[in-house]
A and B are shown apart, each in its own frame.
Chain A
Amino acid sequence: MSATGFLARSLFVHRVGSRSVFTSSKRDTNSPNWLRVGLAFGSSVFLWSLLFKQHSGDVLEYKLRNNID
């Protein structure tokens, strides 16, 4: 039998041969995922404070090494 013949016969195969427990729904875009928003803003605040701390540490180190002030 040709390939197309085989494919045509597959139409008559019972469609639901197995059952699945998974469900899915469309993502709700109206209500924000507050956990993710909080984590993003929190890590931004953390990174900015880390940057300013490192910068002031670098300035202090530079002044100490070159005996300024």
Chain B
Amino acid sequence: MGWIPDEGKGLPPPGVVNRNSIWLGGMGWCAAMLHNAIKHRPPLKSGVHRQVLLTTIGWFLGYHVTKYENYVHAKLDREMNEYMKLHPDRFAPKEKKTFAEIVEPFIPVR
């Protein structure tokens, strides 16, 4: 794609059915139905070609939006992991205490 550089092509591509596609496709469909409703046409039954076209455009755009989103998240994750590798002193694992060591003895007050 135009906005994803070469390194992003090594990422697993999103499926044809993905969250952004479903949302934008649904938005396109609702836009077509709203257009019908404003023009006093039956919302679902009329202008099926419009509904199909707007849903398709939304679905197509959603696929590329998901691809770009995956690329941006992968880049951020890589930068974060590299920083953590360069500064291990800031990310020392905390020693874990069991619950038995923290809990005080139970003295019921009657």
Contact = CB atoms under 8 A, between A and B. Distances in A.
Interface in B11-47: 11-13, 15-16
Interface in A22-45: 36-37, 40-41, 43-44
Q: Which of B16, B50, B67 counts the most chain A CB atoms within 10 A? A: B16
Given A50-B60, A51-B60, A55-B63, A44 B13 contact: no
A40 B52 contact: yes
B9 A65 contact: yes
Contacts, number: 45
B93 interface: no
B80 interface: no
B10 interface: yes
A54 to B, nearest CB: 8
Given A40-B49, A40-B53, A41-B49, A47 B12 contact: no
Interface in A42-69: 43-44, 47-48, 50-52, 54-55, 58-59, 61-62, 65-66
Q: Which of A41, A48, A58, A65 counts the most chain B CB atoms within 10 A? A: A58
Contacts of A61: 9-10, 13
Interface of B: 9-13, 15-16, 49-50, 52-53, 56-57, 59-60, 63, 67
28 contacts: A36-B49, A37-B49, A41-B49, A41-B52, A43-B53, A43-B56, A44-B49, A44-B52, A47-B56, A47-B57, A48-B56, A50-B60, A51-B16, A52-B16, A55-B13, A55-B15, A55-B16, A55-B63, A58-B13, A58-B67, A59-B13, A61-B13, A62-B9, A62-B10, A62-B12, A62-B13, A65-B9, A65-B10
